Chains A and B, each alone.
Chain A
Amino acid sequence: MSASLPPIHTRIWHEEPEPDNPYATRAAYCRGYDVFGQMVGKARWVEILVLLFRDELPSPAALDMLEALAVALANPGPRDPAVHAAMCGGVGGSTAAANLMAALSVGAGRYRGARDVFDAMAAWQAVGGDLARWTEQVAKFDPKAVDIWPAPERPPGFDPHGVSTATIVRQLLEALAAIGAAAQASPRLCWLAEHRTAIEAAIGLPLDISGVAAAAFCDLGFTPTEGEMLYLLLRLPGAAAHALEQENAGFKQFPFYPVELTDDPASNNAAAAQETP
C-alpha cells in the first residue's frame, strides 16, 4: 500500500479497524455514536437517517414527522411514472439495480419527482421566515439559466392536472402539521394547511404531494439538496416491490400499448399506421 494514501474526508462516519486487518471494521461510529455496539436494536431507522445528515437528533416530534412522511412516500403506486419505469425493468427481468435506477431517473424529474421538491424547497428557502411570501415566490419561480433539467412548466409543488386537492394530499398535510404543531416543529406545514385553499386559488392549481413533502423537509431543517435526495430515497421501496411483482407476473399481463404513428413511410392511410405490435 502506498504510504501517501490520499484520505477521504468526512464528518459523518468513523471506523476503527480490527487489529489484524485495516480493512475490517471493529467499530463504526455515526456522528460519534457506536452504530453496531449501541444503536442497533435501540435506535429507530429515522434516527440514523437524520444523523447521517445532521450532528444532532431533532425533537421527538420532528422524528415522528419524518417517519410519518416516510410511510406516506414509501409507495407512489403503479400509476406513478417512477414506479412505472421500475416495472418496465422488472417485467423484462432487468437487474435489481437497473429497476431502482429506472425509478430514480424518472422520479428525479420536475413532474411528480424530486426536482419538483427541490424547486418548492428553494422557494421556501428564498422567503425565510416570511411564510406569507411563499405563494408569490413559488408563483414566479424561475431558475433562469439554461439547465440540464427541462424548464419548469408551472409553480413547483402543485399538480398541473389537478382539479381539486386530492384527499390523500390533504390528509398527509393535516397529519404532518398536527404531529409537529405542539412542539412548533411544523410552522410551514401548519401555515400551508391553514391557507391551502387561498394559496391554491392564487396559483390556480391544487397542491401535490411533492409540495407537502417540500414543506415538511423544510420544517425538518433540510436544505433543498437534502430534501431532493430524501424524496428519491424514500420513494424507492414501492418501486422495488412493484418491479418484482411484474417480474413474477410476466410480460403478458403488462400493457404494451397500441401506437398511432403519424409519420409512416409505408402508407399515409390511418389503417396501416394504427397497427398494434
Chain B
Amino acid sequence: MPSNGATTEKNLVQTIHDTLFEEMKRDDRVLVLGEDVGARGGVFRVTMGFLDQFGEDRVIDTPLDECLIAGVGIGLAIDGMRPVAEMQFADFSFPGFNQIVQEAARIRYRSNGDFSVPLVIRAPWGGGVHGALYHSQSVEAFYAHVPGLKVVVPSTPHDAKGMLLQAIEDEDPVLYLEHKKTYRLIKGEVPDERYTIPFGQAAVRREGSDLTVVSYGLMHHYAVEAAERLSSDGISVEVIDLRSIFPLDIDTVLESVGKTSKAMIVYEDNKFLGVGAEVAAQIAEHAMFELDAPVKRIAGPHVPAMPYAPTLESWFMPSVDSLEQEMRKLAEF
C-alpha cells in the first residue's frame, strides 16, 4: 500500500483507463493497439484521450483483424516494447487463438528461454449485459489450459490497478480479463500511488466457517451478496476471489476448505471443463478427507453461449438468488 495512503473512489473501467494512462506516461515502451482504441477511445472508453496524449505511434488503431493484433503484439514484445493489446470482446479473440496459444504462449519454451513475449492482452468478457452469444462469453478456460499463458480476472478496482501494472511488468504473456458488467457497477477505493499485485494470490474477501465459496469476476460479487444474506440466518460463508486463474492459488482454497469442510465453485462459463472442474479436482486430490459434502459447482448450462432474450439470459446466468439457495443447501447438507 502507498505510504501516504491517499485513495480515490473509482469504478473498474475508470481505474483501468487511469492506470494504463499513467503507465504510458511513465514508461514509453508501453503502447496500446486494437480495434477502435484511437479516435474512438475504445468501445468501452478504456483508451479515451490516449490518442491526444500519446499520438498515433503509441495508440494504434489496427485493422479489423484479431490475429494481426495478437501477432503484431508478439513482434513488438519480442523487440522490447511493452504492448497492451485490446481484443474488443473476449469473444472475438478466437481468430487470434493460434497466435496467442501456439505463438505467444510457446515462444519462451520453444526457444529454450532465448525469446520472451511480455505482451498484455486485455479482453472484456462475461455476460449479463444483453450481449448474447458473441458478446458474453467466458473464455478463461480455453486460455488457462495453455502452459505459457497467465490468465487473470481482477474483480475490484483495487485489484484492476495492481494486476494491470503487474501484467505490464510481467515477462510473460498475460490475458487480462475485464468483466463487462463490473465495469461501471463495481466501485471502490483505489490507492493513488503505483503498486502491483503479484499473480497467483487469491483473496479471502469474507471470512466464514460453514462453507467455502470460490469464484471470480462478476460471480464473486454475487457470491459475496448471497453470503451477506445468509449471515442473517446464521450461515457463515467464506468467500474467496481467485483473482488469477493461472497461476492458481489452490493453497488458499485448500486452507479454507480445511476449515469449512464444504466447497462450492461459482462461475458463469459452461460448467463442463470450466475453471470449477480444475478447482474441484484439486480439492478432491488434496483435501478429500476434509470434506463433509460433495464439492458443488454452480455454473452455466451446456449450451453454446448465453442467449439474448432477457428470459433466456437470466436462465443462463447464476444469480444472487440462485446462489443464496444453493449455498444454503450445501451449508445444510
Bound pair (A, B): no
